[in-house]
Amino acid sequence: MRVILFGATGMIGQGVLRACLSDDSVDAVLAIGRTASGATHGKLRDLVVADLFDYAPVAAELRGYDACLFCLGVSSGGMSEADYTRITHDLTLAAARALLAANPELTFLYISGAGTDATERGRSMWARVKGRTENALLALGFRRAFMLRPGFIRPLGGIKSKTRSYRILYAVVGPLAPLLRLFLGKHMTDTDRLGRAMIAVARDGFARPILETTDINAVADAQKA
């Protein structure tokens, strides 16, 4: 399986990249971003794109891939709905359209979030925008498209979030992880599980287009059985 990965420098993307590089079913990884991933591996290639809304200059380099793992995203904190929509919805759809044109049989996986509002009419701004993005991706015409909605994601293996408030949160709750798993286990996952689940779903599919945290963990844990 040849994979395109967006967001390889982010917390989730780092975990997914590690999973891809260690999984024998992944033959090649093209990491697309404004900067290089910073990783070095025989099956990894970085494609630096200055404008993530415009893929015309690199269209030829997008061909020949089986799946896209889209892990690029930002926190909605302090952002207007228009600005958050531009990055979360518009940028994602620009990439998705370019990839679909280059690979009509591509499977597309999108990291969304627990609580996403598929009706697009709820009170939560971020949930509405994520819902609008999910709906647009599912209607775009991919052979297979899956929306993953993780809840709390625990970073493992030294991975750190690029968002300062999240880094503080993880530092505080990290020692409490065993207790949190006891009471909130079905709402929690980690970067390792998320990486394994994305690869498995890209390769094997899933019964439904929407995966909640419990689905993500079940798929990931099945890969270790």
Q: Please tell me whether residue 194 adopts helix, strand or coil conformation.
A: helix
First to last CA, the chain: 21
CATH number, domain with residue 212:
3.40.50.720
CA-based nearest residue to 106, from 148, 145, 59: 145
Query: So what's the pLDDT on residue 171?
Result: 55
Query: So what's the pLDDT on residue 180?
Result: 58
Q: Structurally, how many domains does the chain consist of?
A: 1
Q: Please tell me whether residue 189 adopts helix, strand or coil conformation.
A: strand
Query: So what's the pLDDT on residue 128?
Result: 97
Whole-structure pTM value: 0.90
Rounded-to-integer distance, Cα 151 and Cα 124, Å: 16
pLDDT at 95 over 80: yes
Digit-coded pLDDT (tens) for 141-176: 999 999 999 998 888 887 765 655 555 555 555 565
Query: So what's the pLDDT on residue 158?
Result: 73
pLDDT (mean) for 190-215? 97
Q: Which amino acid is at 8?
A: A
Rounded-to-integer distance, Cα 76 and Cα 123, Å: 14
Digit-coded pLDDT (tens) for 70-91: 999 998 989 999 999 999 999 9
Containing domain of residue 150, as a range?
2-222
Query: So what's the pLDDT on residue 165?
Result: 54
Digit-coded pLDDT (tens) for 25-36: 999 999 999 999
Give the position of tokens 């590089």: 21
